[in-house]
Structure formats: structure tokens, C-alpha cells
Structure 1
Amino acid sequence: GAPGSYTFPVTVSSPDTGCDHYADWWAVLSESGDLLYRRLLLHSHVDEQPFTSTGGHVDARRDETVIARSHMNLASYGGVAMRGSLIDGFNSVILTTGFGDGVETIAQLPDGCAF
């Protein structure tokens, strides 16, 4: 991608059981917790674990540190996120409680699960 328009392939491992409990989106956030991009996941991935989903255009610089994390439809986040930059690569990180609070209320949000 080009500066301000990068795509991200994100691999998610989630305890999906069907539409009652599934990863419904992943997001790229700034280091301060601001939403840069959200990729909606419109169905569960019960038999596809882990799975990779690509999304973008993410408004970030190549050297900007960002956080990628997934969200479960029951309003919870996965325990591990990825932190890094396009230049330096990414490493797993445990986020502090409250990181990115409010992101789950910003539109565009999923409105259902196909299967």
C-alpha cells in the first residue's frame, strides 16, 4: 500500500461456536487507542481456526506504531493483541485495562451474523 492507505492481513484465533459467540470484527488502533480502521466479520469461523482476514485502507505511516486486536460479539476482546509498525513488524502484547475504551460504540458496527 501507499502511505495513508495500507492493507493489513490479520490472523484471528477465536473460540467461535456459531452466531451466538464469534469474532465479529478486528480493528487497527493508534497507540493512544483511537480507531484507525475496523474490518467487519459477517459470519462465524467455527471450522476455520485460526483464520486470516485482510482489510484496509488504514490511514497510518510506515513507521507509525499501531495496535491490531479482535473483538467478540459478546462485547469482549481477545486476550492478546499485536503491536508494531509496517517497517519493524509486529509482536504480541497484552493491553492495559481500558485501552481503546469506546471503540466498540463507534460506527460502523456489525448488524448480524450470516452463519
Structure 2
Amino acid sequence: MSRYTRRRLMLLVTAAGAGLAGCTSPAEPSADDADTTSVTSATTGETGTAADELDLREANVVAVAVEPAAGGHRFDVTLHHDDDGEEGYANWWQVETLDGERLGRRDLAHPHGTREFTRSATVSVPDGTTCVVVRGHDRTHGYGGRVILVNVATGATTAVRQGPEREPMDGRACQ
């Protein structure tokens, strides 16, 4: 009996949906694909929708999938940033503990345009750590935009708008 991982299942669903919709590439979002994920502001605690909160001048983390892998956990991180409008492209994303200790980083060597893009890396997460933060970064603005808290045990995510500066996530909890 074949075992389907969450990633494999998501790829199959995405490919099937793109085929039914007549899309040539599932990586190219349409205007109808508005992200309505609930987002909480780190500074005000206010909740809104992701579509209202994204500043594409900043490297926004818009999705994270995580699963156990040899040597740690594999993180598939999707960023959205306006890399066409300036030299300051999204140059990396990182996984860190809630108190800010960096666990791993995935460097990005070139611009990716204005569409969302996903890159993966395996990161060692210390035993007993259940909640991590995934942050994006760009060459011009540094930190900013949206981060995602990830429960590494369940894969549940919570989006948080951190604003233009790197906001601490101490005291936050994952779903």
C-alpha cells in the first residue's frame, strides 16, 4: 500500500486543480487566488486577512510545510516579494526558536519576480522544541512583512504580521 506524505498529496491536489482551471503553471497566482488566512499583528494584536496585510516591498512568508526528515525537519517555505521592482530581492529565509535563536537558513541567490516561490531546506530542530518561527529577509528592507509560526509536531501554522522591523515572538504559542 502506497503511503502519501502531506507534500505529495498537496502536489497532486495542486496539479489537479491547475489542470481543471486551465492554468499552465500552479506557481502563478491569479487575482482570484486572494489569500484570506487570518493574520495577527505582532505590535497591535489586531487580526485581519493576509491579502490586506502584505507589503510586497518586504519578504513575506506566505506558506510553510514541515515534515520530519533525515537530520531534522524539511521546511518548504513560500515567499512573496516584489523582486521585479528593485535590486533588493528576497535573499534568504530562516527558521528560529521563539526567543530568536537561529536554527537554520536558506540563502536565495537571485530575484524570483513578483509571483510566490517556494524553496526547501532541512533544519535541525532541538528535541522539545515544538514551535518555531519562519522569517523572510530582503536585501533592501531587511526583516519585515509576514512571518509564520509553525508547530513542528503537527504542521499547523499561524501567520503574524511583524511590521517593518524584526519583532520578538517570545510568549507566543503555536496552534
Q: TM-score, normalised by structure 2?
A: 0.49
| Distance of 2:166 and 2:124 partners within structure 1 | 23
Conserved in 2, the CA contact under 8 Å of 1:6 and 1:60?
no
The match for 1:39 is 106
| Distance of 2:153 and 2:102 partners within structure 1 | 20
| Superposition deviation, residue 3 in structure 1 | 8.1
| Structure ranking higher in strand proportion | 1
* Higher radius of gyration, 1 or 2: 2
Does 1:5 find its partner at 2:99? no
Does 1:70 find its partner at 2:140? no
- Cα offsets for 1:45-83 (capped at 9, x unmatched): 015x10000011332448610000100012512311000
| Structure ranking higher in helix proportion | 2
Q: TM-score, normalised by structure 1?
A: 0.72
Listed as ranges, the gaps of 5+ residues in structure 1 are 101-115
The match for 2:8 is none
RMSD (Å), alpha carbons: 2.5
Matches within 5 A, 1:19-98: 20-46=87-113, 49-61=115-127, 64-88=130-154, 89-95=156-162, 98=166
| Distance of 2:129 and 2:102 partners within structure 1 | 17
| Distance of 2:166 and 2:94 partners within structure 1 | 15
Greater length-normalized contact order (CA 8 Å, ≥ 6 residues apart): 1
For 2:76, give the aligned amino acid: P
Conserved in 2, the CA contact under 8 Å of 1:23 and 1:71?
yes
Runs of 4+ in 1 over 2 A off after TM superposition: 1-4, 57-63, 94-100
| Superposition deviation, residue 6 in structure 1 | 0.7
Indicate the percent of aligned positions where both proteins have the same amino acid.
Answer: 28
Conserved in 1, the CA contact under 8 Å of 2:131 and 2:149?
yes
Please give the secondary structure, in 1, of the residue aligned with 2:87: coil
| Superposition deviation, residue 44 in structure 1 | 0.7
Listed as ranges, the gaps of 5+ residues in structure 2 are 1-67, 169-175
Conserved in 2, the CA contact under 8 Å of 1:3 and 1:61?
no
